[in-house]
Amino acid sequence: MPSTVVITGASAGIGRATARLYGRRGANVVLVARGEGGLREAADEVAALGGRPLVQVADIADADRVEAVAEAAEKEFGPLDVWINCAFASVFAPFDEITPEEFRRITDVTYLGFVNGTRTALRRMLPRDRGTIVQVGSALGERSIPLQSAYCGAKHAINGFTSSLRTELLHRGSNVHITVVQMPAVNTPQFEWVRSRLPRHPMPVPPIYQPEVAARGVVYAADHPRRKQYYVGASTVATIWANRLAPAPLDRYLARTGFDSQQTDRLPPAGLDNLFAPVDQDPAEDQGAHGSFDDSAHARSWQQTLARHPAATALCTSAALLGALRGLRRLTSRAA
């Protein structure tokens, strides 16, 4: 029987790329997002690749609507096997330029949206004693950077919430699994859609990876959910370990570099942002999985490939840690 997979944030970016991978497997793919145009295009891709799509237009900040998504999915395909929380919202701006309404909205989507999806999935998975939940996290959930205080706060919250829930599932001896995939900077359309008060066009902090790299990490984690978390990209490993080993020098380094490294030389986008309403309601507005940084984005991650093999995991981590230590020496010397 084909597996049934629910993906939030499926109209673009990592969610869209993940939906394509499950389409190639012939899975039943429930596509959840606010932008109906993007979802329809994603559904066409899944169907063309051999999967069975189901479009569900929903704001994941609305717990009742998320519950309705699960009901529709099970009515169409039967029991849920995998639930992937991927949708998010953000604002690029210093904290004192983000309004209370904007901060609340980011938290409602990026953190409570994951809580809503997880709760809805567990209502169905726990009685059956099977199923997998994958949280699409970020290196910024452990190492915050400037200009993204609301997003970083929400990603930190996801880590804390998921760790607590994981221990509860272990206490029960449950066969329902939950895992987190910590992501690097990814070339997604968010940098065209995000609300920004920066003087220049926002960008992901290099090194940048293509969404297909992230999607492969998500699917692998769903297939092997017993590990607490997975890292995608050597930069993710290096960032997390650098923060654990020398957070104060890293703070000072980011204070100097974190503003410029998140902006290009281009003018900021002139169109609408997607904080309170989608910008891909019409198929003509669909942007697919990729953003505008194809020329500088990596299509492969050696760290991700090695990390799939237990014998190579220690080597992979050691190499990334060595890189972090070298970077820390430079940071410490500059901060002195």
Mean pLDDT by 10 residues, the chain (336 residues): 94 98 98 97 98 98 98 98 98 98 98 98 98 98 97 98 98 98 97 95 96 98 96 93 93 96 90 92 91 92 69 58 58 54
Residue that the structure tokens 């003087």 belong to: 199
Q: CA–CA separation, 61 vs 69, rounded Å?
A: 13
Q: What is the dihedral angle through the alpha carbons of 333, 259, 201, 190, rounded to the nearest 10 degrees? A: 100
CATH superfamily of 4-300: NAD(P)-binding Rossmann-like Domain (3.40.50.720)
Cα–Cα distance measured from residue 156 to residue 111, given in angstroms and rounded to the nearest whole number: 9
* Among candidate residues 276, 131, 121, 304, the one with its CA nearest the CA of residue 209: 304
Q: What is the phi/psi pair of residue 310, to 5°?
A: -55, -40
Q: What is the pLDDT of residue 2?
A: 84
| 283 half-sphere exposure, CB direction, 13 A CA radius | 6
- Tell me whether strands 208-209 and 185-186 are parallel, antiparallel or unpaired: parallel
Check if 151 is active-site.
Answer: yes
Residues 134 and 228 sit within 8 Å (Cβ to Cβ): no
Residue listed under structure tokens 């370990």: 241
Do 87 and 18 form a contact (C-beta atoms < 8 A)? no
Beta-ladder partners of 185:
208
- Please report the pLDDT score of residue 301 as a whole number: 77
Q: What pLDDT does 284 receive?
A: 85
> What pLDDT, on the 0 to 100 scale, is given for residue 183?
97
Q: Which helix (H) or strand (E) holds 321?
A: helix 310-335
Strands (E), 101-221: 131-136, 176-182, 185-186, 195-196, 208-209
> In whole angstroms, what is the distance from residue 90 CA to residue 106 CA?
6
Q: How far is the C-alpha of 160 from the C-alpha of 174, rounded, in Å?
A: 20
Q: What is the pTM of this model?
A: 0.92
Q: Which of 151, 220, 230, 253 is catalytic?
A: 151
Q: Are strands 208-209 and 52-57 parallel, antiparallel or unpaired?
A: unpaired
